[in-house]
Amino acid sequence: MGVLIQIKQSKKVKCHGMFDEEGKIRLLLEYMDGGSLQGACISHEPSLASLARQILSGLSYLRRRIVHRDIK
């Protein structure tokens, strides 16, 4: 999780900190308008393609700087 704090990319949600609460790790993240990815119901193909491109762009950025062993 420390990596999340160190990453400097303009398009990612900023992580302001993390703490352990009753054995669970909590992240203090920047607020982003637009709702959650989980809550998004994307049935419009161009919107889905745009979202996929954004996710893949983020993974590409991380891959250049961090070794990933298990991305699902």
Cα separation values, 26 from 29, 34, 47, 49, 71, Å:
9, 22, 30, 31, 21
Q: For 38, which DSSP code?
A: T
Tell me which of 10, 64, 70, 71 is the catalytic residue. Answer: 70
User: Is 20 an annotated catalytic residue?
Assistant: no
What are the catalytic residues?
70
